[in-house]
């Protein structure tokens, strides 16, 4: 995906901390509990772009009143392929108007490595 190409150019070692905004955190960060790299930045950009195009966060938001991210993290851990998100977002208001180029970007940014 796009993340591998960006990682090859950047060459920065990953950080060894667990940080980020839960709905935008990459699966490898959620699964391992640490790590931030160019790949996780590309993932977050993909989630942001998907949310802008569809009007819906693909993994939900933390649950009030304590803003518990457990449900969001469970959905991110369970993520397997971009096609799963396409099915989930089929009824989202702006999802039907996306371009082929947007889909190509999203599929690359949200590819599991």
Most trustworthy range by pLDDT among 4-18, 29-43, 67-81:
67-81
Domain coverage including residue 99: 2-109
Q: How far apart are CA 109 and CA 101, in angstroms?
A: 12
Task: Specify the CATH number for the domain of residue 40.
Answer: 1.10.510.10
Q: How far apart are CA 61 and CA 73, in angstroms?
A: 10
Q: How far apart are CA 107 and CA 86, in angstroms?
A: 10
Residue 77 has which token pair?
Answer: 């851990």
Q: What is the domain count for the chain?
A: 1
Q: pLDDT grade, residue 1 (50/70/90)? A: low
| pLDDT for the residue numbered 17 | 58
Would you say 17 and 34 are in contact if contact means Cβ atoms under 8 Å apart?
A: yes
| pLDDT for the residue numbered 5 | 52
What would the pLDDT profile of 13-37 be if each residue is shown by its tens digit? 555 555 678 999 999 888 887 677 8
Q: What is the mean pLDDT of residues 70-96?
A: 90
Please give the mean pLDDT across all residues of the chain: 84
């Amino acid at each position: 995906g796009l993340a591998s190409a960006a990682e090859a150019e950047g060459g920065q070692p990953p950080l060894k901390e667990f940080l980020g905004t839960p709905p935008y955190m990459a699966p490898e960060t959620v699964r391992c509990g640490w790590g931030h790299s160019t790949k996780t930045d590309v993932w977050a950009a993909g989630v942001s772009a998907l949310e802008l195009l569809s009007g819906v966060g693909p993994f939900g938001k933390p649950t009030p009143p304590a803003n518990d991210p457990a449900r969001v993290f469970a959905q991110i851990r369970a993520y397997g392929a971009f096609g799963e998100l396409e099915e989930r977002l089929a009824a989202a208001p702006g999802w039907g108007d996306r371009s082929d180029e947007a889909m190509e970007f999203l599929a690359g940014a949200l590819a599991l490595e």
